[in-house]
Structure formats: C-alpha cells, structure tokens
C-alpha cells in the first residue's frame, strides 16, 4: 500500500507532553533514552558522549535531563543508578568493567535505563531547564551535591580526613545545617565562604575547608 503523502502533509505534529511541575519526592520512570538529534549523536563541549533521559510521572507529564558519559562526569549517572527502585547493581557493573560511555550505545542504554523507576526532586532554572536530583530510597541525603561555584562538572573529591576535602566539608554542612533554615540560604553561604578564601577550589587546603565549614555553620558542634 502506498504511503499517504498528501494526508500526512496536512496532519499536525503530536502534542508535546505536559511538563512535570517542580516539587520534591516525585515518583517517575525513565520513559525514553535519546541519543542524539537526527543522525548526530549528543556530545558535550569537551567531545564526550551524552544522552538525554526523559522522566515521566504517573500522570504522563515529562522532564528531561542530559547526562555526560565521561569518567569525570560519570558520577551523575552513577548516582542516578543508585537511586533506582530497585537500585542498579553497581558492584556487578564494576566487576563487569562497565564504563559511563557504554550507556551511549542504544542496546546497552535502553536495556539498563528504560522503564526504571526513580524518585526525583525537580527544579527549573531561569532558562526553564530541568534540574533533576534523584532521591535515595532510604531517604538519606548523601545524594545531594554542593552548589557549583563555577561551570565545572567535576564531582566532589573522594573523602579523606574530616574537613580535608570538599566532600568532607559539604557533608558536615549538610549534616549540621539547622532544619529551620532554607537550603537556598545554606547554599549561598557555602558559595560565599569558598569565594571568601580568595582561592580557586582546587587550591583549597584542609585548613581552608575547615574554615569554610566554620564560616557556614558558625559554632555548630561537629
């Protein structure tokens, strides 16, 4: 049967799904993995592969998140995988030698990402882009990342002695921040304290990170 070119030319494009409203604790599933536009695969400015994940809530509304699949930025997809319901088997992935870039291959990406359930917190920036934060099933807050002071996609450094690294300093701030004060205030004080050192984050010493914590939390007990 011949393709109905004339009929299709008068049809309208299917309507876009409604956007998921901003909020916390939104149960979603990954309804689609997008690997590129047309024949062009998604890549970051640094040339690393990227994928776009479409999160769909129980009412069919959607939000999209872009993930860079480099070693440096792979922590974002690792954190997402750990928040799946049920969580992905990260230990098995390590044993099998899976790398972030493997998710750029549709056969692998679809098999491991499609229809996975994850609870998210959702915000939108000033340009309307979604800021998606996956939530761990046990309710712990260790999935939260410190607010960026630059445009780097570096993950927090590996933990070492207390307050010796950005990671340790941030965990202390999250753990001891007063519950009756907003996260926005906390995040702004964090950024202000780092800028107040007069150094780049990469140059901060253990003493500097300790002063950052003290600046944000004041006399809070540790």
Residues composing the chain: 222
Give the pLDDT score at 222: 42
Phi and psi of 80, rounded to 5°? Answer: -60, -45
pTM: 0.59
Q: Tell me the mean pLDDT in the region 120-139.
A: 86
pLDDT interval class at 1 (50, 70, 90): low
Query: What number of CA atoms fall less than 13 Å from residue 205's CA on the CB side?
Result: 1
Give the pLDDT score at 99: 94
117 close to 27: Cβ distance less than 8 angstroms:
yes
Strands (E), 165-214: none
Place of tokens 């445009």: 151
146-166 exposure pattern, b = at least 16 Cβ within 10 A, e = fewer: beeeeeebebebeeeeebbbb
Pick the closest to residue 153 from 209, 79, 85 (CA basis). 79
pLDDT interval class at 128 (50, 70, 90): confident
Strand partners, 33: 53
Who wins on pLDDT, 162 or 52?
52
pLDDT interval class at 220 (50, 70, 90): very low
pLDDT digits (tens, 9 = 90+) for 74-87: 889 999 999 999 99
The per-residue DSSP string of 96-151 comes to TT--GGGGGSHHHHHHHHTT-EEEEEEEE-TTS-EEEEE--TT--STT--PPPSSS
Give the pLDDT score at 138: 67
Boundaries of every domain in the chain: 23-134, 145-222
**72 Cβ contact partners less than 8 Å away, ≥ 6 residues apart:** 153, 154, 155
State the CB neighbour count (10 A cutoff) for residue 196. 13
Pick the closest to residue 62 from 24, 25, 18, 30 (CA basis). 18
Query: What's the whole-number average pLDDT of the chain?
Result: 82
213 close to 169: Cβ distance less than 8 angstroms:
yes
């Amino acid at each position: 049967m011949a393709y109905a070119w004339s009929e299709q030319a008068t049809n309208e494009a299917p309507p876009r799904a409604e956007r998921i409203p901003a909020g916390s604790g939104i149960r979603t599933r990954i309804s689609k993995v997008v690997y590129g536009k047309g024949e062009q695969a998604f890549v970051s400015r640094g040339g690393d592969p990227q994928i776009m994940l479409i999160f769909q809530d129980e009412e069919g509304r959607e939000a999209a998140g872009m993930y860079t699949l480099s070693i440096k930025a792979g922590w974002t997809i690792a954190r997402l995988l750990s928040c799946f319901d049920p969580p992905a088997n990260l230990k098995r992935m390590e044993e099998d030698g899976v790398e972030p870039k493997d998710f750029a291959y549709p056969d692998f990406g679809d098999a491991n990402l499609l229809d996975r359930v994850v609870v998210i917190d959702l915000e939108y920036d000033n340009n309307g882009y979604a800021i998606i934060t996956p939530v761990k099933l046990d309710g712990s807050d260790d999935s939260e990342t410190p607010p960026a002071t630059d445009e780097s996609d570096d993950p927090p450094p590996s933990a070492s002695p207390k307050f010796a690294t950005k990671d340790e300093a941030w965990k202390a701030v999250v753990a001891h921040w007063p519950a009756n004060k907003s996260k926005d205030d906390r995040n702004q004080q964090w950024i202000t304290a780092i800028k107040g050192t007069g150094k780049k984050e990469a140059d901060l010493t253990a003493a500097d990170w300790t002063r950052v914590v003290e600046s944000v939390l004041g006399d809070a007990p540790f």
